[in-house]
Amino acid sequence: MIQKSPKNPWIWVPSLYLTESLPYVIIITVSVVMYKSLGVSNADIGLYTSFLYLPWVIKPIWSPILELFGNKKQWFLSMQLILSLVFLAVGLTTGVNQFFLITLAFFWMGAFASATNDIASDGLYLIALKPDQQSFFVGMRSTFYRVGMITGQGLIVIFAGYLEEEFGNPAQAWSWTMIAVSGLMLLLTGINYLATPKVIEARIAKVDRPSFGKVFETFFTKKNIGLSLAFVLLYRLGESQLVKMASPFFLDTREVGGLGLSVTEVGYLYGTLGVIALLAGGIIGGILISRDGLGKWMIPMVIAINAPNLGYVLLSWVQPESFIFPATVVLIEQLGYGFGFAAYMVFLIYLAEGLFKTAHYALATGFMALGMMLPGMISGYMQEWLGYPGFFVWVVIATIPSFVMAFAAKYPREFGKKVS
């Protein structure tokens, strides 16, 4: 039996998923901006920051430990505390010799802690909410996950850009930025300690406790598992490459095909209009699936998440002087992403249905990370080979498999619909 405290999910779901996404975006995305500012090449950025996805790919290996032992809240609070220390260490070593190797090592540590935090946080969500609540709050959940990403890509990058202008020294600016991120993570850890519900989890009797093999077996023998995993791997094939090269494109000089924006301007692109569009798209997406079920909205949502990539093709061809054009593209992209990502999240919840929801959800999100890691690793080389215009055309072509899988995937059309 699972007992829950009466704490309101309107409070703890936003705080929990903000804290889940912030370290992820710092490690995977903000590191791209930081390394670009510090003079690292696009090829190295694409390869090594994409390789940081690996802990999210292999997290299913240790996810059964969290399923079978320990308390989810204790797990994620411990990991969040470790993450605050990791970002402090990155901040203290950004300006030293061999900073790239040293900070990558700390980001690796943070990536493992963040992946474990994801498992525990998602596990609490799945056991503390009823199925209809899970569907209803998926919009709120994905929205605040993206708000955390916008906080990193937007507000934190703006802060770093401001410090670059003040200090005239990118290494010093990013050092203080990462120290500030450490403090923010510590604050969010305290909020989650107070806000998240206490859940007494059902324990399987020792004699009946399954092996790790049983946990994996029950996942990989699900009906249509091959088709489902292909959907998970390919739904964001275009975005997995776009996300690695979007910031370098905005930051690179116009002579090499970029837009020549400052770090502060890139932060504003993602941290102002993007936030509003993301909130609208994510909340609307969750509500519509909760009202009508996943089947009705799958195709409109896959269109919404992929079509805005055409805007980057236009940007790379035109290289506009005005800030309005890239701002409009980012606005449309964030609106579409917030709307389209809701379908992806509900599908992952469907894939985790049955026994061992926490471990099975971790397995599903591990394949999601693999779908981001492998294409992202080659993105920098593709960009340097094709140039920005050719690269963004390639990104649009790479969205075709996601449309194919959206039509082919098998799932109950009513899944996610609120029970009357």
- CATH number of 10's domain: 1.20.1250.20
248 lies in some domain: yes
- Give, as one character, the DSSP assignment of residue 256: G
Query: Taking 50 as the threshold, does the pLDDT of residue 146 lie above it?
Result: yes
Cβ-based neighbours of 366, under 8 Å, separated by 6 or more: 56, 57, 58, 59, 60
114 part of a folded domain = yes
CA angle 105, 109, 110 (to 5 degrees): 115
- Provide the 3-class DSSP secondary structure of residue 29: helix
Contacts of 258 (CB under 8 A, 6+ apart): 248, 249, 250, 251, 252, 388
Q: What is the per-residue pLDDT for 287?
A: 87
CA distance 214 to 85: 35
Contact, 27 vs 316, CB < 8 A? no
Which among 7-16, 209-218, 406-415 has the top mean pLDDT?
406-415
Arithmetic mean of pLDDT over the chain: 87
Longest dimension (CA), the chain: 68
What per-residue confidence (pLDDT) applies to 116?
92
Structural domain tally of the chain?
1
Poorest-confidence range of 59-63, 183-187, 210-214, 311-315? 210-214
84-108 in b/e burial notation, b at 16+ Cβ within 10 A? bebbbbbbbbbeeeebeebbbebbb
Residue 418 lies in a domain: no
> Residues 6 or more apart from 357 whose CB is under 8 A from it?
123, 126, 127
Residue range(s) defining the domain that contains residue 388: 3-408
149 within some domain = yes
- pLDDT, residue 159, reads 95
pLDDT: which is higher, 58 or 7: 58
Per the CB < 8 A criterion, the answer to whether 88 and 12 are in contact is no
CA angle 47, 48, 49 (to 5 degrees): 100
Whether residue 419 lies inside any domain: the answer is no
Q: Where are any strands of DSSP class E within 184-254?
A: 199-200
| Assigned domain for 414 exists | no
Percent of the chain with pLDDT over 70: 92
pLDDT at 271: 72
Let me know if residue 335 belongs to a domain: yes
Please give the Cα distance from 216 to 311 (Å, whole number).
41
Q: Nearest-CA neighbor of 338 among 277, 296, 288, 270? A: 277
Residue that the structure tokens 């905005």 belong to:
250
Do 365 and 348 contact (CB within 8 A), yes or no?
yes
Is 351 in contact with 232 (CB distance < 8 Å)?
yes
CA distances from 72 to 8, 76, 118, 121, 358 (A): 18, 6, 10, 7, 10
pLDDT in tens, 98-142: 999 999 999 999 999 999 998 888 888 877 777 666 767 777 777
For the residues 11-29, what does the mean pLDDT come to? 91
172-224 confidence digits (pLDDT tens): 999 999 999 999 999 999 999 988 887 766 554 444 455 667 778 888 888 88
